[in-house]
Amino acid sequence: MKRMSALLAAVLALSATSLSARVDVGQPAPAFSLADSNGRTRTLEEFKGRTVVLEWTNAECPFVRKHYDSGNMQRQQKEATAAGVVWLAINSGAPGKQGEVDGGDANQQIQIDHSAPTAYLLDPTGATGRAYGAATTPHMYVIDGQGVLRYKGGIDSIISDDAADIPKATQYVKQALAELAAGKPVSVPLSAPYGCAVKYAPN
């Protein structure tokens, strides 16, 4: 039943993405300007020339917890940033919705999880999430140094909320980063996102 629920979540997420996506792989990534958890305004433009990962997050989502409680997300964050990649966690939860945080809450969650994003960005209006078509938490995007989207989808290849599946899965984001660093095309540029629906504010 647990696995069937996870699969249903993934199917619904993929459907939502097809309806709301605003950017395709190979297109310029949408610009954004968001406050981070420390109140500093961050933009995509400031990271021009560097590879950027966007990670939509919600600490109350079991699919997010799968990757944080196992340490998988933190390992990937640390490996990527050590290699010069910018990793931005983004929370598009609307005020009063599950998983919504302010800057202090976000910093506390970073401490609890021992996570290592370059910055944790707050998107309470959901404008940035909708521009990217972010449908789930997690939903992952990789942008190259020229600002072109090179990957979007799930963090890995196994649709579940079971941490035991992580070692068996192809880690799509990690793979995409390695291929870009080697000057190769991303072999899997698109996959089905899976997880909890992003808790957007009403349009």
Predicted confidence at residue 203, as pLDDT, reads 78
Q: Establish if 26 belongs to a structural domain.
A: yes
CA 120 → CA 56, 88, 107, 160, distances in Å?
10, 6, 8, 25
Q: Establish if 202 belongs to a structural domain.
A: no
Structural domain harbouring 176 = 2-197
Backbone Cα Rg of the chain: 15
Helices (H), the chain: 2-20, 62-69, 72-82, 103-113, 127-132, 172-181
Inter-residue contact 58 to 98 (CB < 8 Å): yes
Predicted confidence at residue 110, as pLDDT, reads 97
Q: Establish if 38 belongs to a structural domain.
A: yes
Structurally, how many domains does the chain consist of? 1
Predicted confidence at residue 8, as pLDDT, reads 46
CA 129 → CA 80, 94, 104, 124, 150, distances in Å?
22, 11, 21, 9, 17
Q: Establish if 203 belongs to a structural domain.
A: no
Inter-residue contact 120 to 164 (CB < 8 Å): no
Q: Establish if 146 belongs to a structural domain.
A: yes
pLDDT digits (tens, 9 = 90+) for 20-44: 456 899 999 999 999 999 999 999 9
Predicted confidence at residue 144, as pLDDT, reads 98
Q: Establish if 62 belongs to a structural domain.
A: yes
Helix (H, G, I), strand (E, B) or coil at 166: helix
For the chain, residues with pLDDT lower than 70 are 1-22
Predicted confidence at residue 12, as pLDDT, reads 47
CATH of the domain at 138: 3.40.30.10
Predicted confidence at residue 150, as pLDDT, reads 98
Inter-residue contact 142 to 176 (CB < 8 Å): yes
Predicted confidence at residue 135, as pLDDT, reads 97
